[in-house]
Structures are given as structure tokens and as C-alpha cells.
A and B are shown apart, each in its own frame.
Chain A
């Protein structure tokens, strides 16, 4: 057990929530930060459209997730854990998880609020019972998270992977959520280093019609054309396939923007006002590139939290590749 962190580092395990932060580094920070107690949070708040893998793992291998948390509890002194579940996961898997975690200091917590409530500092606010807004970083939760104590926030899939690493059965695989205009949607456990094309091919999801995909999340993901699929997926392993002929781009973008408007916290200028102005541009079918680019610029460069920072990419990639060209 002592060397679990070393093993994690050996496998170069990266966070599975989209930010791809080195997991070993996180564990080390929490472990070495001095405090009288520490917390572990298993993040099962999965709120991104098209992303289903946390639910899949909780349904098929909940014992591995609990095992991963148990290893964390053992590795980090004086720690206790929360499993932070989005509402339907709480209802569906709560009972099972409770049974599995018997005897361990694990508390289930039902997520409040939407997508943003999956951001690690917002989770801390939520568990502390405060308004659902991101905190200023640093300090990062690993140094000062829940009630100011060092807090390890990892995704369901990360704990699953750690259980595998511990048992020696880890094969550098991750879970891909595939959906959209395709015959075989679903969650697939496949090698991490496969290209998008390989993933689609091997799962029988490579379309034979004119298409594009959104990869990395059903809202924040980037738009990729068929010719761009010879690379690995960045961020979240979520792939949505769109039939180019059948897809109304304006409607698609409106779907995204209503997601962002619903899910953002309205705290900072670029994200609050930027989202509103994007909605306005879409309503007016205004494609004035100077305005769009300016909005993308402040969203990417000056937003307070990752949600705002990631809002530009789907729009900018879609506009560049499918509209303005």
C-alpha cells in the first residue's frame, strides 16, 4: 500500500474529469500537507451532456470504486470520504454504495445544482452548505478544501483505475462515452492511446455518411471533422456523432448556450455577459466574426472558472470548421 502513489505515478494516471491533472501529484500534495484531518471526495456528479461513464462504472463495478476510496483512506492519514453523487445516481446507486462502504468512513452526499456543481471547489462549497460558486484558486482543494482541510477530489473513474492499479490489473484503458447519430451508442472501455478513429472503428461507430463529431464533452467539447480523427481524445472521453445533413447548426449551438446559461454561476463578467451575448447573436443569426472572436477572447482568457474558459471552444471550432470555413 505504501507505494500506491509511486505506482500511480508510474502509470502516469491522469484525472478523468476533463482537466487531466496528474493523479499522483494530487495524492502526494494531500498526503504531505500537514493538517489534523483530511478529506477525500469521490466525484460522481457527471453533468456534461453525452457523458455517461460514471453511471456505467457505478452500475457495473461499484465495488472497485469503493475499493479505490478505501485505498485512499488508508494512504491518507486521518481522512474520511464523501461520495458526491448527482441526483439520479444517488437514487439509483445510493443503496448499493452504502452497503459496500459499510465499516468505512464514507458518507454519501447528494449533489445540489447543475453542471458547475461538479467543479471541485464548488463541490466543497456544496458539502459545506454554501452558495454554489467556484472559489478563488489557489489554494487548491488538495491544500485547503473542505472546511479548509486538505481534500483529495477524484473522479469515479479515477478510483476505479486505482483499484485496478493496486490489484495489478490496470491496462491503461479508459471509458469512452459514444452517442449521437449512430447505431451503437454506449460506454466502452478501451485503450487510452487509441485515436478517435480507432475508437469509432473498433466500436462499429464510424459513420458511412457525411458527419462531424464533438469530442471531449457534449457542451464543452471541440468540433472535429472526419479528417481530424487521427488523434487521441483530449479531456473527457466523450464523443458525439452528428449527421451533417440532418444537423441544424444554429439549433445545436442554441442547445449548448442554453446549457451554459443554465449551468454557469453568473459570477464573473465574461462568462455571465458572454453567454448572454452569444445567445443574443444566435437569436439574431448574427455571424459578425469580430464580435464572436472578442467574446471568445475574454471567455478563454479572463473567465473565473473552467466552465467559462471552456465555453468558447465548441462555438469557435464549429464556426471555423462548418460555417465560415
Chain B
């Protein structure tokens, strides 16, 4: 137990625990202290200095994010001295930050602008020193405008935490710059964690502003939307709804209002993924080959394996990701049923993820020369599209999905949280291996926010070791463990690149803090627990499409539902023409 102490903040007596930072205590007591470089996922760096507060004893200013409270400490968070320091430091920060508010991921929730107003900041007091700084693009996923960077170094840290280290500090003329790595053994995996950890919008998804209306401008096409499991508990945030609020029906309504001709749920795709993946697991267990099975629905993780650990490529399941499977089925099964030329169908996936932008352009995804999905819009992009069209999201009445693909199982919905894929696969694999249905479907051991969760599951006579990982740095740890200790045999490993899984994805609303991710995840599990239908293989639409369509043509099944992977060389980055943006 930590020692209880008493301190004074702005003259008010407050109880605190020894070892807490001033910021933590203030926050708990609803005393506002502004922060820029602080992110609860990362180390305390204390380098923006905006959180300065005054200690009454010596009238010293200290950084509240890194200063620990002591018995009797007297803190003032809004003295003239504090205000003056914040104002000047903000002016210095603005002078190294290109304001491009119209096209900024923080546009509606910008800490900098809020502070500017509060502290009477003269935004252009100093000449902007970064106007000629380069803009980088990492494939078709990420744009990094280094002219907006305020040198907090969060992105370097988060990219390192991801085990990637693609973002580096480079010293030029005695100044450090954040740059993408030129080193041949480092490459971006497009997880987008740099986006959600940058306090000033220096990172964004490709096309995040310019291209969002493109899919709806496709002439003479039938435009179909599908949306990922995790966005139903996060999109509401963009419209001021509470964290974790379930807005599935509103999303459907909004998409229709925007002009999408049909709206389907990617969670149904997840039920297909579970079916296919579970078949592979069963087969590999029977043949005792290519174990552990590694999940492959997260494209950032897939790229991570292909680039950093190619020796594990054969272990990836070949099952496509949910959105890709559903896209394929829309352009085959549904097109045939509705008698539409698949070339006339445009599939748009609403995803929590920027790596999905990369996934849909992979040629390994094609079937019959067709892309299963044509466009990706992230959660943020959909929110913007809704705002742009002046749709009052909060007031929307829930609508039902288009019926052609039915409703998802609960298992398909929890795909959005770390552990969900494993839990779904387990429910179905159990049935496939034993012929019996699981009675207790909740698989608590793999839920929750820890980076690596290990469990043993008994299926029939055998015990299987499994692991569930979120965050690529953790995945790296586990892979190294496996390499160092080959006797440790896992049957199945689920990896999601983002903290907490897709609920913490790089395309999600910001801020994206642990408490917020937790709320998003809890609501997904809540949806699952309230469903009657909780197993993928029991989903009537899944059964129907297999028996009527997929089971009749093995080649077709493989081409729509499976893909392949291979070792990847460095894809690197390009520098965008400054005058072109």
C-alpha cells in the first residue's frame, strides 16, 4: 500500500498517494492541467513543458506530468507565472507547427487550438520554421507531414514499442528531425499507431481528407458498404456520444443516408473467417504440421511477419480477413443472386484501420482479377463524411442491415477486441474436433488488455497451448521466445497489431486512451453476451452460403476465401511534392 498524504492544490486540501505525479492527482480531482507530449500508453517524457505548475514553497515551476507529490506540497496550477510560461511555450510550439486545421485528424478536438484560446497565444508570433519540411508517404497507407511535428517524440516511441523502429531521430545541423528509416531492415507495417499517438496531427491516413467522397462518386455503380466489428462501439465518440456506446443501427442508417445502396456487416465476414480458419486449425492439428497457426486477419501483423519474420510465413492461416471474405462474397454470391455484373459493384469497407488500405491493394487478394474491396474508409473518415453531409448522427433512428447476409453471430462481433478471434475460433474448433457444442462459451482467459495472454484449452482428450497478443512489440517478444525455446509448442496464436486489438486501431477516433479502449471492448463483449447466436458455425446465413454456393465449387471457395503470403522486401517511403498538397 502506498502512503496516504495530503497536499494543497490551488488552496484546496487534497488526499493523494505518495509516488503519484501531480498531474495524476489533479486529474483525479478534476483539476485541469493541459498536456501535449503525455500519452498514457507511453513513457513520461516531460518535454513539451506545457503542463508546468507552480510550487508555492519556492515559486518554482515544475512539470506536473513527471513531478511526484510529497506530503504538504502546495501546488498552484493557474498562477500568473504558470499562465505566462504556458503562453510563451505554446507560441514557440506554434512556430514549429504548420497549422493545417482543415485537413487535420484533430480538427474537431484540437488540444493546441483550445490552449491557444485559453492562454491568449499569438499563433504567429514567431516565423514558422518548418514550412519547407518534407511530407512523406508510406505506401498507400500513411502520410507524415514533418512540418507539423512539435518534436514530442511519441511516434518514435510508439513505433519502437511496435517492434518496428521505422521512425527515427536524425541529427541534421545540430537539430533532431523525425524521419522514416532508410535502413534496409526497417519498414513500416502501416499499423497507424503513430497517427493516434501524435498530439498534433502530423500523421494521417492516405486520402484521409481528399478521397473520402470518391467511392460515392462512382458513376453507374452499385455501391455497397460493410463495416467492421469494432467501429460500432467507437464511431459514436466522434459525435459526442459516450465512450463505448453501441451505434450499430445508427451506422447502418447513416450509410444509407450517405447514399450507399446496400449495407452489410463485416462481422458476418468474420463468421466466415472463423469457419475457414477453424478448418485449417483442425487440419493442421490432425497432420501435426505448420503449428502454431498464426491468425492473419490483421494486415499490419501480416506485413510484420512477411518483413521481419519471413520464416513464420507458412504458419499464417491462409484464410482472408473478414472484410475481404465478405467483399468476395458480395461480388460473387450476392452478385449472382441479384444478377448484377460484379464489375459494377463497388465495395467500401469502413474499418478501424489504416493497414486495411494497404491490404485491399495487395494483389494476393484478387480473385478472377477482381478486388474483393475497392475502398477503405476509416472510422474517422466515415465520421467526417457524415459531418460533411450534415447528417445529425445522434438523432438518427436505428436501421437494420440489408438482409442478404443476415446477422452476425456474437463471435463475429468480438473480433474487434484482442482475443476475439481466438475466442470465436475456439467455439467453432471445439465443435469440429469433438462433435459437441461448447456449453460455456465465454473464454475469459483471452480477454482483457494485457499484451500477451497465454492459456491452455482442453479439447477432447488433448490440451492445447494458445496465446493471444496485442501490440506488435509483444508479438515480437513471443516470437523470440518461441525461437529460443522450440519445445514450447503452441497450437494457435492470435495477434492484433494495435493495443487492445482493432478497438485501438490507427483509424479510430482520437484520443485513444486505455480507458477508452476498454469501454469500446466491453461493449463488444456485451453485444456478444446478449446474442442468442454466439457461434460462427451456427450462423444460418453461413450455413446457407456454404451449402448453396461455396461447397459446390472448391476452386471458387479457395479463391474467394483464401490468399497467400510471402517474404517482403522493403517498401519504404516517398517524399511528396510540397506544392502538390
* Interface set of A (CB-CB < 8 Å, partner B): 131, 136, 138, 261-262, 266-270, 272-274, 276-277, 280, 291, 294-295, 297-298, 301-304
- If A269-B92, A298-B85, A301-B81 are given as contacts, then 9 extra A-B residue pairs at C-beta distance below 8 Å, sorted by A number, are A269-B89, A270-B88, A270-B89, A277-B126, A294-B88, A298-B49, A302-B52, A303-B49, A304-B63
Task: Give every chain A residue within 8 A of B151 (Cβ-Cβ).
Answer: 266, 269, 272
Smallest CB-CB A-B distances: 7 pairs: A273-B92, A302-B49, A301-B61, A268-B47, A266-B176, A136-B66, A298-B88
Task: Establish whether residues B95 and A273, one from each chain, have CB atoms under 8 Å apart when the complex forms.
Answer: yes
Most buried by B among A136, A270, A301: A301
Task: Establish whether residues A274 and B127, one from each chain, have CB atoms under 8 Å apart when the complex forms.
Answer: no
7 A–B contacts, CB within 8 A, in A order: A136-B44, A267-B153, A277-B95, A295-B88, A298-B88, A298-B92, A302-B63
Task: Give every chain A residue within 8 A of B127 (Cβ-Cβ).
Answer: 280
Considering the complex, which residues of chain B in the window 30-64 have a beta carbon less than 8 Å from any beta carbon of chain A? 44-50, 52, 60-61, 63
Task: Establish whether residues B85 and A297, one from each chain, have CB atoms under 8 Å apart when the complex forms.
Answer: yes
Q: Find A138's partner among B46, B68, B125, B174 (CB 8 Å cutoff).
A: B68
Task: Give every chain B residue within 8 A of A274 (Cβ-Cβ).
Answer: 92
**Least distance between B129 CB and chain A CB atoms (Å):** 7
Task: Establish whether residues A297 and B84, one from each chain, have CB atoms under 8 Å apart when the complex forms.
Answer: yes
Q: Which residue of A lies closest to B48 (CB)?
A: A269
Given contacts A136-B44, A268-B49, A272-B151, contact A298 B89 (CB under 8 A): yes
Q: Which residue of A lies closest to B51 (CB)?
A: A302
Q: Find B89's partner among A261, A280, A302 (CB 8 Å cutoff).
A: A302
Task: Give every chain A residue within 8 A of B176 (Cβ-Cβ).
Answer: 266
Q: Find B85's partner among A262, A268, A272, A302 (CB 8 Å cutoff).
A: A302
Bound Cα distance from A272 to B95, whole angstroms? 12
Considering the complex, which residues of chain B in the window 465-497 have a beta carbon less than 8 Å from any beta carbon of chain A? none
Task: Give every chain A residue within 8 A of B129 (Cβ-Cβ).
Answer: 276
Task: Establish whether residues B46 and A136, one from each chain, have CB atoms under 8 Å apart when the complex forms.
Answer: yes
Bound Cα distance from A138 to B176, whole angstroms? 26
Bound Cα distance from A304 to B89, whole angstroms? 13
Bound Cα distance from A181 to B162, whole angstroms? 56
Task: Give every chain A residue within 8 A of B66 (Cβ-Cβ).
Answer: 136
Bound Cα distance from A58 to B440, whole angstroms? 75
Task: Establish whether residues A301 and B52, one from each chain, have CB atoms under 8 Å apart when the complex forms.
Answer: yes
**Least distance between B462 CB and chain A CB atoms (Å):** 44
Contact with A along B76-103 (1 / 0, CB 8 A): 0000010011001101110110000000
Task: Establish whether residues B174 and A261, one from each chain, have CB atoms under 8 Å apart when the complex forms.
Answer: yes
* B175, CB-defined interface residue at 8 Å: yes
Task: Give every chain B residue within 8 A of A138 (Cβ-Cβ).
Answer: 68
Bound Cα distance from A228 to B47, whole angstroms? 37
Contact with A along B537-561 (1 / 0, CB 8 A): 0000000000000000000000000
Task: Give every chain A residue within 8 A of B49 (Cβ-Cβ).
Answer: 268-270, 298, 302-304
Chain A contact residues: helix, strand, loop or mixed: helix
Task: Give every chain A residue within 8 A of B44 (Cβ-Cβ).
Answer: 136
Task: Give every chain B residue within 8 A of A295 (Cβ-Cβ).
Answer: 88
Task: Give every chain B residue within 8 A of A268 (Cβ-Cβ).
Answer: 46-49
**Least distance between B5 CB and chain A CB atoms (Å):** 16
Bound Cα distance from A296 to B124, whole angstroms? 19
Bound Cα distance from A167 to B521, whole angstroms? 69
**Least distance between A278 CB and chain B CB atoms (Å):** 11
Task: Establish whether residues B46 and A304, one from each chain, have CB atoms under 8 Å apart when the complex forms.
Answer: yes
**Least distance between B294 CB and chain A CB atoms (Å):** 33
Bound Cα distance from A276 to B175, whole angstroms? 10
Bound Cα distance from A168 to B519, whole angstroms? 69
Bound Cα distance from A280 to B174, whole angstroms? 15
Bound Cα distance from A302 to B55, whole angstroms? 13
Task: Give every chain B residue within 8 A of A276 (Cβ-Cβ).
Answer: 129, 175
Task: Establish whether residues A301 and B85, one from each chain, have CB atoms under 8 Å apart when the complex forms.
Answer: yes
Task: Give every chain B residue within 8 A of A273 (Cβ-Cβ).
Answer: 92-93, 95-96
Bound Cα distance from A267 to B66, whole angstroms? 15
Task: Establish whether residues A304 and B47, one from each chain, have CB atoms under 8 Å apart when the complex forms.
Answer: yes
Bound Cα distance from A38 to B480, whole angstroms? 32
Bound Cα distance from A273 to B153, whole angstroms? 15
Q: Which residue of A lies closest to B54 (CB)?
A: A301
Task: Give every chain B residue within 8 A of A131 (Cβ-Cβ).
Answer: 169
Task: Establish whether residues B52 and A269, one from each chain, have CB atoms under 8 Å apart when the complex forms.
Answer: no
**Least distance between B492 CB and chain A CB atoms (Å):** 37
Bound Cα distance from A118 to B48, whole angstroms? 23
**Least distance between A116 CB and chain B CB atoms (Å):** 12
Bound Cα distance from A261 to B151, whole angstroms? 16
Task: Establish whether residues A297 and B88, one from each chain, have CB atoms under 8 Å apart when the complex forms.
Answer: yes
Most buried by B among A269, A273, A295: A269
Contact with A along B514-535 (1 / 0, CB 8 A): 0000000000000000000000
Bound Cα distance from A38 to B544, whole angstroms? 71
**Least distance between A8 CB and chain B CB atoms (Å):** 26
Most buried by A among B47, B52, B88, B169: B88
Considering the complex, which residues of chain B in the window 264-284 have a beta carbon less than 8 Å from any beta carbon of chain A? none
Bound Cα distance from A270 to B96, whole angstroms? 12
**Least distance between A193 CB and chain B CB atoms (Å):** 26
Task: Establish whether residues A302 and B46, one from each chain, have CB atoms under 8 Å apart when the complex forms.
Answer: no
Contact with A along B249-293 (1 / 0, CB 8 A): 000000000000000000000000000000000000000000000
Bound Cα distance from A270 to B52, whole angstroms? 12
**Least distance between B128 CB and chain A CB atoms (Å):** 12
Task: Establish whether residues B174 and A270, one from each chain, have CB atoms under 8 Å apart when the complex forms.
Answer: no
Bound Cα distance from A268 to B153, whole angstroms? 10
**Least distance between A316 CB and chain B CB atoms (Å):** 15
Bound Cα distance from A303 to B52, whole angstroms? 10
Task: Establish whether residues B84 and A270, one from each chain, have CB atoms under 8 Å apart when the complex forms.
Answer: no
Bound Cα distance from A291 to B63, whole angstroms? 23
Task: Give every chain A residue within 8 A of B85 (Cβ-Cβ).
Answer: 297-298, 301-302
Bound Cα distance from A291 to B176, whole angstroms? 25
**Least distance between A121 CB and chain B CB atoms (Å):** 13
**Least distance between B179 CB and chain A CB atoms (Å):** 14
**Least distance between B176 CB and chain A CB atoms (Å):** 5
Bound Cα distance from A268 to B49, whole angstroms? 7
Task: Establish whether residues B88 and A262, one from each chain, have CB atoms under 8 Å apart when the complex forms.
Answer: no
Q: Which residue of B lies closest to A303 (CB)?
A: B49
Task: Establish whether residues B175 and A266, one from each chain, have CB atoms under 8 Å apart when the complex forms.
Answer: yes
Task: Give every chain B residue within 8 A of A272 (Cβ-Cβ).
Answer: 151, 175
Task: Establish whether residues A269 and B93, one from each chain, have CB atoms under 8 Å apart when the complex forms.
Answer: yes
Task: Give every chain B residue within 8 A of A291 (Cβ-Cβ).
Answer: 125
**Least distance between B308 CB and chain A CB atoms (Å):** 23
Task: Give every chain A residue within 8 A of B169 (Cβ-Cβ).
Answer: 131
Bound Cα distance from A303 to B127, whole angstroms? 22
Task: Give every chain B residue within 8 A of A298 (Cβ-Cβ).
Answer: 49, 85, 88-89, 92
Bound Cα distance from A136 to B37, whole angstroms? 14
Bound Cα distance from A139 to B369, whole angstroms? 62
Bound Cα distance from A314 to B153, whole angstroms? 30
Bound Cα distance from A136 to B52, whole angstroms? 14
Task: Establish whether residues B92 and A270, one from each chain, have CB atoms under 8 Å apart when the complex forms.
Answer: yes
Considering the complex, which residues of chain B in the window 208-262 have a beta carbon less than 8 Å from any beta carbon of chain A? none
Bound Cα distance from A301 to B169, whole angstroms? 27
Q: Which residue of B lies closest to A295 (CB)?
A: B88
Contact with A along B166-180 (1 / 0, CB 8 A): 000100001110000
Contact with A along B3-28 (1 / 0, CB 8 A): 00000000000000000000000000
